[in-house]
Each structure stands twice: as C-alpha cells, then as structure tokens.
C-alpha cells in the first residue's frame, strides 16, 4: 500500500491530508474523521495505523487535518468552516473513487461530523467510535436540552437510513446511554453497538485501546455486508 500526501482544495483553502491506497484495485472507500484537537495521525499515530489496516482490507482511505490544525493551519479555525470544508473534502474524495461502498469512520467529535456527512447520498455505511451521547432519560438545563435533543435526533435519523456500527469501551462515558438508545431503536434501525470489555477507548491513551480500535475497525471495514447485530455485546 502507499500513503499519498495531498492538499484537498476547499473554498477556505487547502486541507492537508493523506490518501492511503491499497495494493490492488480498491473495493471500497473510507473517510476517517478523528477527534477534536487531534491531527490526522492521532495519538501514537493511531489513525495512521487504522488507515493502513483499513487499506489492507482493500479500501482507499482519506484522512485530513481539520481547519486550523496541522497541515490545514492556513485556514482560520472555526467549527462551521470546518464542517463545510470537510463536506467539500468528502466530495473531492468521492469524485475520485470509482467504488460503490463509501463509508465514514468517525471518533468522538469525528463521530458527530460523520453523522452530518452521512446525509450525503453516496454514503453506504457508518462507523462511530466513542460518540458523545447523553441518556434520553437524563434531565438537562433548558439551554442544553435543545442542543442535545437536536444531536440525538440527527443520530436517530442517521441510523434509520444507514447501517451504523458503534464501538465503545466498557469504561467510556456514555455506554449506558448508547445501550438505552440501541434498545429503543432496535425495531426500526440497522444498528450495532460493540462494547470492548475492561477498556476506555476515548483518547486512545493505552496501547491496548489503540490495538482494540484498529483491529475492530479493520474487521468492520472488511465486511460491507455487516449490517445488523441482535445482541449488544
């Protein structure tokens, strides 16, 4: 496989990125979205290693630095600008991929961004790692409740349209909220929650967490028919 550095053009300026190309003709494409304040490489190069593991399954993979970070530092940091730039980067990527299976993998903030990008018709499936989630039964201040409700509604809309796989560690925050949501949606959504025992994946601070995420994402990417799980394990 090859890691090919790219500058992806957007209306705000270039996003620095890497396209990881498999050895043979690609059978699918994946855009990989990291968490907040992380570069496209991630801690201990976890996203570089993940991209290469995905490419080993026959998929071409795009990673970019968010606006104002890393090789995208020529663009002024702003979340709305980041969302628009990523949508344009996704379009740039899709226009160059002659494949039917186009997936997005997002971690933490990247999971939220992936849900927004999933409204694009070309997206066929979604993987969300440690997505921020608050229990539907938790009481919240009025000024926060509306934002949380909107985010939850986008999540629910997404999982009713696409196969969605969620990966979270047993010790990550929000596990119970994800289980509650999965139970509520199980009759009308193609939705799988996988819980890694005895680990916290968020921040990927340990080698065990990094390897758990990399191996499971690679396994998910290798099987585009993986769409439903009857049990949340």
In a domain, 104, yes or no: yes
Q: Which residue has the tokens 């070309």?
A: 122
Domain region containing 40: 2-222
C-alpha span between 53 and 49 (Å, rounded):
6
What is the domain count for the chain? Answer: 1
In a domain, 105, yes or no: yes
Percent of the chain predicted with pLDDT > 70: 88
pLDDT in tens, 9-52: 999 999 999 999 999 999 999 999 999 889 999 999 999 999 99
Buried b / exposed e across 123-137, counting CB within 10 Å, b at 16+?
bbbbbbbbbbbbbee
pLDDT in tens, 167-198: 999 999 888 888 887 787 776 658 889 999 99
C-alpha span between 160 and 172 (Å, rounded):
25
In a domain, 139, yes or no: yes
In a domain, 233, yes or no: no
Find the CATH number of the domain harbouring 206: 3.40.50.1820
Task: Show Cβ contacts of residue 202 under 8 Å, excluding neighbours closer than 6 positions.
Answer: 108, 130, 169, 172, 173
**Torsion sign (Cα): 43, 80, 86, 222:** positive
Residue 231 reports pLDDT greater than 50:
no
Average pLDDT, the chain: 88
In a domain, 194, yes or no: yes
C-beta of residue 39 within 8 angstroms of C-beta of residue 204: no
In a domain, 92, yes or no: yes
In a domain, 206, yes or no: yes
In a domain, 228, yes or no: no
pLDDT in tens, 119-157: 899 999 999 999 887 655 566 566 556 666 677 788 888
The two structure tokens encoding residue 52: 């290469």
């Amino acid at each position: 496989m090859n890691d090919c550095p790219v500058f992806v053009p957007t209306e705000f300026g270039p996003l620095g990125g890497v396209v990881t190309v498999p050895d043979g003709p690609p059978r699918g494409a994946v855009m990989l979205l990291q968490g907040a304040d992380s570069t496209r490489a991630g801690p201990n190069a976890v996203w570089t290693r993940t991209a290469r593991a995905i490419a080993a399954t026959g998929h071409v993979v795009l990673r970019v630095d968010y606006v104002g970070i890393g090789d995208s530092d020529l663009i002024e940091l702003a979340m709305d600008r980041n969302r628009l730039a990523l949508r344009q980067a996704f379009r740039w990527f899709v226009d160059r991929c002659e494949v039917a299976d186009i997936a997005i993998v997002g971690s933490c903030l990247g999971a939220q961004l992936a849900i927004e990008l999933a409204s694009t018709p070309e997206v066929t499936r979604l993987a969300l790692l440690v997505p921020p989630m608050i229990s539907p039964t938790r009481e919240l201040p009025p000024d926060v409740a509306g934002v949380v409700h909107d985010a939850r509604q986008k999540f629910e809309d997404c999982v009713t349209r696409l196969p969605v796989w969620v990966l979270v560690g047993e010790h990550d925050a929000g596990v119970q909220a994800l289980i509650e949501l999965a139970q509520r949606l199980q009759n009308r959504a193609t939705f799988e929650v996988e819980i890694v025992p005895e680990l916290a994946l968020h921040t990927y601070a340990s080698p065990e967490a990094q390897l758990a995420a990399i191996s499971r994402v690679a396994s998910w990417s290798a099987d585009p028919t993986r769409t439903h799980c009857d049990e949340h394990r």
